[in-house]
Amino acid sequence: MIRTENLCKKYGDFTAVNNINLQVEPGEIYGFLGPNGAGKTSTIMMMLGISKPTSGDIYLFGEKVTPNRLDLRHRIGVVPEKHPVGMWSWMTGVEYLSLFAEIYAVDKAEIRIDHLLNRVNLLSVKNKRIKEYSRGMMQKLSIARALLHDPDILFLDEPISGLDPIGIKQIRDLVLEENRDGRTIFISSHLLSEMEKLCQRVGILFGGSLVAEDKMDVLLANLVQDREVIIDLEVIPENIENTIGMLPYIEKVNIKGNTLFITALKNEDIRKELSKFLIGQDLIPLRIEERQVTLEDAFISITRDNLDMFTSMGGKK
């Protein structure tokens, strides 16, 4: 659906995008992750044909993207992070959508607009001026606009940034619903926790390079080197940290009150072994829990120093 080949973008001496090769399959939700300034927007702008790559190629639907290929843009919908609301504020929601319906030459535009407004829960406010819309409403209107012409790919740039929890859930549900209908979705974001809930596959961009790209669970498993197990005990015996620390796969033990925080080097689940060991020591664990390492935890460990490690893990430096 989307494919880039050795994509590069330079602004003078600065390399914004460095040799990116990625592929998004039809029907998947692809998360494009990276901190601010990682080169996400530059990559998306090239994918949309708005800016020209310094080198490399982009293919949408198997066809090469150039700024002149306005026809390809007809098959994509884009939800930008920020909307120029001020410029459209005089229009009502329905006028706003009808403008885009006309631009995209949407058939039976009125029915389609009402259908989409209904889907994003804005039908009741369709005749309100959009200057009266909240940020969440505007974001939903923007998604409705992006879906007007029934695009094959939906690009979402930071779709939940600045939204309240209810707004986030509504957008998340909408995206998942669209994906269930078979639409390919490309989401760019720096909010990793949300991406984790949405994306099937992610690419991590850092310093203009795609440092990792894989399925979410594989990526997490690869990224997570340490495991942390939290154990609550009735009584904390003396020297327990040394006793546990003797185990070969234990790296560190911390005690806070009656709770042990154990960091293990082992990749597998160590809760069973630890439980056996503690019972053997006449200690009864009240709670034994492994803390889930999130994408966010993993992501913050990405630095320039360990780029090589990520590359060796399947990243595309």
Partner 1 sequence: MNQRIHVAKALSKRGLLESFLNPGYYLFLSVSLVLGYFLVSGFKKSIDSGGFDYSLDPLYDLIGRSLEGFFGSTYVDQLFSEGPFLFIIVIIVFPLFLYLTITSVFKFGMEKKAGVIVLLSYGPVDGTTYFIASLVKDLIMVFVSIAIIMIFLLITAVLNNLVVGSTAFLSLILIFFLTPVVFAYGILASSLTDNSASALVMFLMLMVFFLFIIMGSFTIVDNNIQNIAGEFSRILNWISPFFFFRVGMRGVAAGNIIPYLLSLLFLSVLGFVILLASHLILRIRGVRP
Partner 2 sequence: MKKRCVFLVVLLMFQYTIFSDIPIRDEQFIYSILAYSGIDYTGTFSGEDSDTIYILADTDNFLSARKTFVYYWPITGELKTDSSVLNQILPGTLKIEQQNENTQIVSLSAYTYFNIREEYETNWIVATGEQAIEAYQLFESLIDAYLLELDEFEHQKNLYNNTMTTLSQTVAALRKEGKDFSDLLEQAEALIPPEEPEYPDYYLSPPVQPQIGFRINLPEGEYFLRFISNDGNIMEGSERRIVSFMSQRDKSTGLEVIPGDKWTRPISSNSPSSTLYIDGSSDIYLRSFHQEDYNDLFYNKLIQNDAKGNPHLSKWVQIQQIPHTQISMASSNDSNLIINESPFFVEQIPGAALGYEIVQFDPEGKHKGQNPSLMAFHVPIESDTRVINIKVLDEGGTDLQGASRQIRVVKTSRAGFLALIFALLPLLVLLVVKFKRANSYL
Q: Please, which of residues 76-95 interact with partner 2 by CB under 8 A?
A: 92
Largest CA-CA distance found in the chain, in angstroms, rounded: 77
Residue 243 makes CB contacts below 8 A (sequence gap 6+) with 237, 281
Does position 129 interact with partner 2 (CB under 8 A)? The reply is yes
Does position 102 interact with partner 1 (CB under 8 A)? The reply is yes
Does position 309 interact with partner 1 (CB under 8 A)? The reply is no
The answer to whether 58 and 8 have CB atoms below 8 angstroms apart is no
Rounded CA separation 221/269 (Å): 12
Using the CB atoms, write b or e for 117-134: b if 16+ within 10 Å.
Answer: bebbebeebbeeebeebe
Does position 300 interact with partner 1 (CB under 8 A)? The reply is no
Rounded CA separation 144/124 (Å): 14
> Could you say which of partner 1, partner 2, none residue 129 binds, taking C-beta under 5 to 8 angstroms by partner kind?
partner 2
Q: Which is nearer to partner 1, 105 or 246 (CB)?
A: 105
Does position 105 interact with partner 1 (CB under 8 A)? The reply is yes
* CB of 97 vs partner 1, minimal distance in Å: 12
What six digits make up the tokens of 18?
Answer: 């460095």
Residue 176, H or E segment:
helix 165-180
Does position 123 interact with partner 2 (CB under 8 A)? The reply is no
Among 12, 62, 84, 280, binds partner 1 (CB under 8 A): 84
Binding pattern to partner 1, positions 232-271, x when CB under 8 A?
Answer: ----------------------------------------
Does position 122 interact with partner 2 (CB under 8 A)? The reply is no
Rounded CA separation 205/41 (Å): 11
Q: How far is CA 203 from CA 50, 109, 302, in A?
A: 21, 36, 13
> Could you say which of partner 2, partner 1, none residue 86 binds, taking C-beta under 5 to 8 angstroms by partner kind?
partner 1
Does position 117 interact with partner 2 (CB under 8 A)? The reply is no
Does position 83 interact with partner 1 (CB under 8 A)? The reply is yes
Q: Which is nearer to partner 2, 123 or 309 (CB)?
A: 123
Does position 50 interact with partner 1 (CB under 8 A)? The reply is yes
